[in-house]
Amino acid sequence: MKRTKIKAGLLLRAFFLVLSIPGMSRGIPAQNQYDKFVKRFDQAVKTEDRRALKRILKSYPTECIQHFRILIDAYVNGGDSSAGDRIEDLKDVWNEVWKCKVLERVEKFQSALDGEQRRLVARLKNERQRAWGAFEAAKKSKKREDFDLARENMAKVAEAFENMGDNLEAAESYIYLASILYFSPKKTDADWNALLGVMEKYESLHKAWDWTQGRTYKSNVGWIKRIRQDLKSGVKPGEEEKKKQDPAGGKKQPENLAKFLKGSKWTKVDLLLGIQKKLENGVSMFASAWPLEWQAMSLKGTLPEQMKSFQDGTLFLQRSGASKYLALLDPADPKSGKLLKFGGGKPKALFVPYKKEGADYLPEYAFWFWTGGAQESIAGTDLNLAPQWGQQKSALVFYRSAAILSGKVEGVNIELYDEDFNGVVGEVPGKTVFGDMRFGTGEEKAEGVPVIDSMRVGGSKHLIPYSKYFKIKDQWYRFQVTGNNEQLRYRPLDPATVPTGRVAFQWRGPGRAKPDHLVIRETTWFRGAAFDIARAGKKGIEVPAGDYEILYGRIMNGSPPRVNNAVILKGKSKNFKVEKGKTVTLTLGAPFHLEFEVVNEGGYASVSSATFWVRGAFGEKYGAIVAEVLEPVLYASKNPDGKGAKKVGVWRRCEGYEINALRDRYQRIYILHLACMPIDKESAKQPNLSIRVKRPRSGTFFLGVQQRGHKLFGKLLPIWK
């Protein structure tokens, strides 16, 4: 061990906030913890006690990383050669204790910072402190809007650190954000999913920098798993699963709501498994009739790949020849497979065997499969999706469920469709979400998009969302699927305990943008109830009285590849109440505004098309827009209302020959989603999603994004930021 001393100036002290989240470890070091680390560390160095150093690094890893940053700054920017010796000593002991490369990641990032970037880091830490102060104030005011403001500001800090490439500071900021989300009042399912997404971001950032071994990280990951498990089971995290409990507030359910009819019993109906004979559009985008909107598996070489989205058992696909695919029960045994015959550019519905623990028979499930050709068009861009079988062996296999589970309820035929293709039907609407980066969440993260199981009642032409509460003829029933899709159970409700109102729907905007599906769900006493109001009209449809929110919507026009589609999410829309005997009208559509995010770095402001989304009059969010890619203009103004704005940039859709260069630059974005994002018109040689604008040295500066004539939405108005 080299005996070098650190100058007193290196032992800097910074203000660190302490989080106290039930079930979550503290992710940001407290000041006293850092002081203890420095004191014990200095003593161990003086006495050359390597065993003590190892114990200290094992007990204080977070504080060690923080101290390591200070040493890097002192050495690189302060010219302190002794700090260089201490850096090497720290790395040496750290690698022996933790056997990971996180200090190397920190060193590479910290030593590359220039003066402007260091000042930006300082500003971000100040903004983080202010956002936390706003959160503390929100806890006193108990107003949801105060929590939302703190949440928004903290999210900006976390995203800015992430954009800089500082994974650990970004991860710590996301923990702050998690705390704000956790303590925010009146949380919806979307809030819980947002919390889970934030913590998963924390997990992925740590993994990227090879730091997944500390107690703090492991405790937080355990907390993530508990939240995920609770959400999967339909219970809000941290709450007991009680029948008479309000999922949103923990209050006892009124005795006069959702009671079963006196003397009634559960009726069991055996569900028969069938297979779809032709493709049709489901309620969800992922159950589209267009294969390019399905889920895809990447098969490389001849290695088996598990279909991880399927949850009723284990299923592996293997490619054994140019057009030979196998469904394997055992990935180590090629003879356990069934040959699947599909390809040639046409979707094929097939029964597929799979392995199910505890089953005394060989179960099967039905899927649609499809592989693309050399020129598949999406958003006007031609992509080569044809399977390769040469020196490089690869194939994208697109799939969705082709299963139909049917039975009769009181003489009425009911068909259930597994639109999230996980092998389970009858789930709480919105329980399953898939990531999609076409909703304005940026270049490195995805929006959680609900996938909703659907049903067909009485031979209707239209699919509707599966609902745990549903009315057949004049009677409301409670539905439940049991026995791994083997039975549908239903039981009548006492009409006196199902007060109802009506929800009407009014559309303002181009007819071609009117939703084909618009699903709302109840969030309190009738949780699990979901209804499609797209065809409700002025009269409306009858629903149980309660508190509702927009869950999902879908716009569909034309035939592939000349489609004009979009998906609707809740966005900034508010919950609405349905009262007994009354009709509430939802008005969606125009005026439409184009939302975006601005990133300020140094003297420049940049706007990425990966942050675009369309906001409707009710606050609803439109994204996954295909094939009419947004091609707006960027304006700059000295006035907050955009008066006197000047054009400073233009986006356009990318051409087919540009997609490979674009994919190389944005590797985290799925190529089919990337094709839907416009590029800077001036960046043809090096396609870029962002437009960068130099900020004036003084005075105010506002940016707005506008498109005057979009083929789906018409006029898209700017929001000035």
- Tens of pLDDT, residue by residue over 543-594, are 999 999 999 999 999 888 889 999 999 999 999 999 999 999 999 999 999 9
Strand partners, 451: 432
Task: Tell whether the model's pLDDT for residue 7 goes beyond 60.
Answer: no
Q: What is the pLDDT of residue 238?
A: 54
Is the pLDDT reported for residue 326 higher than 50? Answer: yes
pLDDT in tens, 297-325: 999 999 999 998 898 889 999 998 998 99
Separation CA 314–CA 294 (nearest Å): 20
Alpha carbon of 214 to those of 25, 34, 67, 100, 224: distances in Å? Answer: 11, 16, 16, 11, 16
Secondary structure of 49-75 as H, E, C letters: CHHHHHHHHHHCHHHHHHHHHHHHHHH
User: DSSP H helical segments within 528-617, as ranges?
Assistant: none
Per-residue pLDDT tens over the stretch 443-475: 988 899 999 999 999 989 999 999 999 999 999
Cα(first)–Cα(last) distance of the chain, in Å? 54
297: left (phi over 0), alpha (psi -120 to 50) or beta: beta
The residue ranking higher by pLDDT, 5 or 129, is 129
Q: Could you write out the DSSP letters of every residue in 622-673?
A: EEEEESS----EEEEESSTT-TT-EEEEEEEPPPGGGHHHHHHH-TTS-HHH
Rounded CA-CA distance 477/684 in Å is: 58
State what percent of residues in the chain have pLDDT above 70.
92
Which of 13-27, 151-165, 314-328, 604-618 has the lowest average pLDDT?
A: 13-27
Question: What are the tokens at 507?
Answer: 């559309």
Tokens of 402: 């082709």
Is there a cis peptide before residue 499, judged by omega within 30 degrees of 0?
A: no
Question: Six-digit token pair at 99?
Answer: 């056997």
Give the pLDDT mean for 344-367.
89
Res 87 pLDDT > 80: yes
Residue 349 has pLDDT above 70, yes or no: yes
Beta bridge partners of 401: 367
DSSP state of 493: B
Phi, psi of 266, deg, nearest 5? -70, 130
Global pTM?
Answer: 0.68
**703 vs 690: CA distance, rounded Å:** 13
Q: What is the pLDDT of residues 621-648, one digit of tens each?
A: 999 999 899 999 999 999 999 999 999 9
Give the residue among 349, 211, 216 at the shortest CA–CA distance from 289: 349
Characterise 443 by phi-psi region: left (phi > 0), alpha (psi -120 to 50), beta (else): alpha
Helices 50-59 and 31-46: crossing angle, nearest 10°?
170
Write down all domains in the chain, each with its CATH number in brackets: 8-232 (no CATH), 256-493 (no CATH), 500-589 (2.60.40.3540), 595-616+627-718 (no CATH)
User: Both tokens of residue 250?
Assistant: 């923990």
Peptide bond into 332 cis (omega under 30): no
Give the residue-averaged pLDDT of 27-50: 75
Structure-token match 């003066």, residue found: 115
Phi-psi category of residue 157: left, alpha or beta, with phi > 0 → left and psi -120 to 50 → alpha: alpha
Which of 105-119, 242-256, 408-422, 519-533 bottoms out in mean pLDDT, i.e. has the lowest? 242-256
Q: Are 73 and 7 in contact (CB under 8 A)?
A: no
Is the predicted pLDDT of residue 19 greater than 70, yes or no? no
Q: Residues for the chain: how many in total?
A: 721
* 569 DSSP β-pair partners: 621
CA atoms in the 13 A half-sphere facing the CB of 491: 13
Predicted confidence (pLDDT) per residue in 202-220, tens digit:
988 999 899 998 888 888 8
Q: Rounded to the nearest 5°, which phi and psi values hold at 121?
A: -60, -45
Residue-level pLDDT at 253: 59
Using a pLDDT cut of 90, give the percent of the chain over it: 56
Residue 708's SS3 state is: strand
Contacts of 222 (CB under 8 A, 6+ apart): none
pLDDT at 244 over 90: no
